[in-house]
Amino acid sequence: AQTVTQSQPEMSVQEAETVTLSCTYDTSESNYYLFWYKQPPSRQMILVIRQEAYKQQNATENRFSVNFQKAAKSFSLKISDSQLGDTAMYFCALNFGNEKLTFGTGTRLTIIP
Amino acid sequence: AAGVIQSPRHLIKEKRETATLKCYPIPRHDTVYWYQQGPGQDPQFLISFYEKMQSDKGSIPDRFSAQQFSDYHSELNMSSLELGDSALYFCASSFHLSTGAYEQYFGPGTRLTVT
């Protein structure tokens, strides 16, 4: 069975700074997919970024980028130029294609004005 | 762009009552997933459907059942409700690809409170 671990329950950073959220995972499969979801106070789950395990190039979406280290089974999310609207719970998740998502326990990120 | 629709958004039921949650996936999406998120917890997978057939089952109580209809909408039926069933219930949809993964897009959730 696969597991996803987020070891930072809470983080805070000043507005406009850069912050990195950590995620590690464990799976015996070679083909899998990793995601970061954002859950703001509204509780909506919003997809931030995805990474295919077979791709070596790190995914980037505007201010959001990942550092995917396959050998280390690490998948961190970097948020550049953080904004107040980035305040949310961030969940790292993994699946094997058209299957359920397995989530980590989340990191609560607060952006300080 | 159209998103996943869930109804109702809020539901209050008493213990031992029955509840039905509905999910309307994004147009052309053929796969639906149900997740349960308790207070302060991460979402836990309940069940999924692809082309109206159950494709996977997670930690879903026997008191719960679900199905996907011909128009791809899905319903989660919950009977003999317990206080512990109080949670946020998400539906997510995706387009099934024979290879690769397609992102799961989540609805706004149904907040169920059992009193």
Give burial (CB, 10 Å; 0-12/13-18/19+) of A7. Answer: exposed
pLDDT of residue A29 exceeding 80: yes
pLDDT of residue B2: 85
Nearest CB to A100: which of B42, B56, B97? B56
The whole-number average pLDDT for the span A37-51 is 95
Q: Is some CB atom of chain B closer than 8 A to the CB atom of A47?
A: yes
For residue range B37-60, list pLDDT tens digits in order.
999 999 999 999 999 999 999 989
Tokens 């958004």 correspond to B9
Tokens 């308790």 correspond to B38
The whole-number average pLDDT for the span B12-30 is 96
For residue range B55-90, list pLDDT tens digits in order.
999 989 999 999 999 999 999 999 999 999 999 999
The whole-number average pLDDT for the span B88-103 is 82
Give the pLDDT band of residue B103 (cuts 50, 70, 90): confident
Q: Is some CB atom of chain B closer than 8 A to the CB atom of A97?
A: yes
Q: Do B43 and A103 touch (CB under 8 A)?
A: yes
Interface test with A, best of B42, B90, B91, B98 (most A CBs within 10 A): B42
Q: Do A45 and B100 touch (CB under 8 A)?
A: no
The whole-number average pLDDT for the span A66-92 is 97
Give the pLDDT band of residue A89 (cuts 50, 70, 90): very high
Which of B13, B9, B60, B12 lies closest to B33, judged by CA?
B60
Nearest CB to A50: which of B88, B97, B103? B103
Percent of chain A with pLDDT over 90: 88
Distance CA A64, CA A67 (A): 10
Question: What amino acid is encoded at A101 in this protein?
Answer: L
Q: Do A43 and B109 touch (CB under 8 A)?
A: yes
B88 neighbors B6 (Cβ within 8 angstroms) = no
Total residues found in chain A within this entry: 113
Distance from CA of B83 to the nearest CA of A (A): 21
Q: Do A44 and B104 touch (CB under 8 A)?
A: no
Distance CA B13, CA B78 (A): 11
Kindly list the residues from chain A whose CB atom is less than 8 angstroms away from the CB atom of residue B104.
47, 95, 101
The whole-number average pLDDT for the span A103-112 is 98
pLDDT of residue A10: 97
Contacts across the A-B interface (CB distance below 8 Å): 64
**A98 versus B72: which is more confidently predicted?**
B72
Q: What SS3 class is residue B84?
A: helix
Distance CA B65, CA B20 (A): 10
pLDDT of residue A46 exceeding 90: yes
A27 neighbors A9 (Cβ within 8 angstroms) = no
Peptide bond just before B8 cis, omega within 30 deg: yes
